[in-house]
């Protein structure tokens, strides 16, 4: 129960960090991304958000490894490292995905 309370309360921060990256990239390249803002692009966007949240659940696997009572106390004081590392990794993957996979597929106005 402690693991669920810890990880689920931080899922909001994880999602906000990923949203901030996406918003920053779209704002920085707005003229290019403007044509992509259509209703038909919403389902793939929601699918990617769902994948990001499923991958967040990997933290529970790490939590299970340290469920042993001997390592539990030390783990509870250091699990923020997994949160930070996982969030930074997700932000890196998101940046790559937007700039390398999505950005080239969007047709800029006048192109």
d(CA 51, CA 45): 10
Is residue 55 a contact partner of residue 7, using CB atoms and an 8 Å limit? no
CA 56 to chain centre: 8
pLDDT greater than 70 at residue 110: no
Per-residue pLDDT at 34: 86
- Nearest residue to 52 (alpha-carbon basis) of 93, 82, 24, 83: 93
Instruction: Please tell me which residue, 73 or 1, carries the higher pLDDT value.
Output: 73
What's the pTM?
0.87
7-57, pLDDT tens digit by residue?
999 999 999 999 999 999 999 988 888 888 888 888 888 999 999 999 999
User: What are the pLDDT digits (tens) for 48-80?
Assistant: 999 999 999 999 998 888 877 678 888 888 899
- Rounded Cα distance, 65 and 24, in Å: 36
DSSP string spanning 40-90?
GGHHHHHHHHHHHHHHHTHHHHHHHHT-SHHHHHHHHHHHHHHHHHHHHHH
pLDDT confidence of residue 108: 61
> 10 Å Cβ neighbour count for 63?
19
């Amino acid at each position: 129960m402690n693991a669920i309370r810890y990880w689920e309360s931080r899922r909001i921060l994880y999602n906000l960090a990923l949203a901030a990256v996406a918003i920053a990239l779209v704002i920085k390249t707005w003229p290019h991304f403007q044509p992509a803002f259509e209703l038909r692009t919403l389902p793939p966007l929601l699918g990617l958000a769902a994948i990001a949240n499923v991958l967040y659940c990997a933290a529970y696997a790490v939590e299970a490894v340290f469920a042993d009572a001997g390592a539990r106390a030390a783990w509870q004081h250091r699990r923020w490292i997994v949160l930070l590392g996982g969030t930074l990794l997700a932000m890196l993957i998101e940046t790559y995905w937007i700039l390398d996979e999505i950005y080239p597929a969007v047709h800029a106005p006048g192109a």
